[in-house]
Amino acid sequence: MLSILTILFIVASCKKSDPYQPTTQELLQNKEWKLSSLTINPALNGTTDYLNGTMQPCERDNTYFFANAFWSSFSLNEGTDVCDPAYSNYTGFWSFNSDTNVMSFYYGTSSTNITFFNMTVEGVSENVFTGKTTDTITGNIYAKTWAFIRN
């Protein structure tokens, strides 16, 4: 009887291991994302809704895809409303630093026209991710908060 109770105690006290939790980078990569919200602070041109107040409609339906690996490619694909057919798709490279939660992007149309920016990832799940950037526009510093949904 004692041995049965001992076995039951051991089985009951065994903690099941948690299922695998993907890393932030794994949650971001190999998915298509669409910008769902972009706010700016302080207000620009009288609005904090940068997505709907400042961006052109042809920019609002763009999607973003992040390939996997340390320095991997990403693509920005114009949606059905194309701003400029000559630049309907942008490609570049991205990386994620898990120590600082910073995504870095490099892209451009030629080797002399390279754009670089960083985004601090605030939160990420299977279907949503948010981040923050800062921009200097006409000499003023603006904080932008980005929200993306899985497309």
Q: What is the pLDDT of residue 91?
A: 84
In a domain? residue 50: yes
Give domain status of residue 74, yes or no: yes
Q: How confident is the model at residue 130 (pLDDT cuts 50, 70, 90)?
A: very high
CATH value at residue 136:
2.40.128.20
Query: Quick check: is 4 in a domain?
Result: no
Asked if 132 and 41 touch (Cβ cutoff 8 Å), the reply is: no
pTM of the model: 0.80
pLDDT digits (tens, 9 = 90+) for 48-102: 999 999 899 999 999 999 998 666 888 888 888 998 887 777 788 888 899 999 9
Q: What is the count of structural domains for the chain?
A: 1
Q: How far is CA 5 from CA 8, 30, 94, 142, 145, in A?
A: 5, 49, 56, 65, 57
Of 44, 37, 38, give the one whose Cα is nearest residue 139.
Answer: 44
For the chain, what is the mean pLDDT?
85
Structural domain contains residue 92: yes
Kindly state whether residue 65 falls inside one of the protein's structural domains. yes
Residue 5: per-residue pLDDT: 46
pLDDT above 60: residue 3: no
Domain that holds residue 81: 22-150
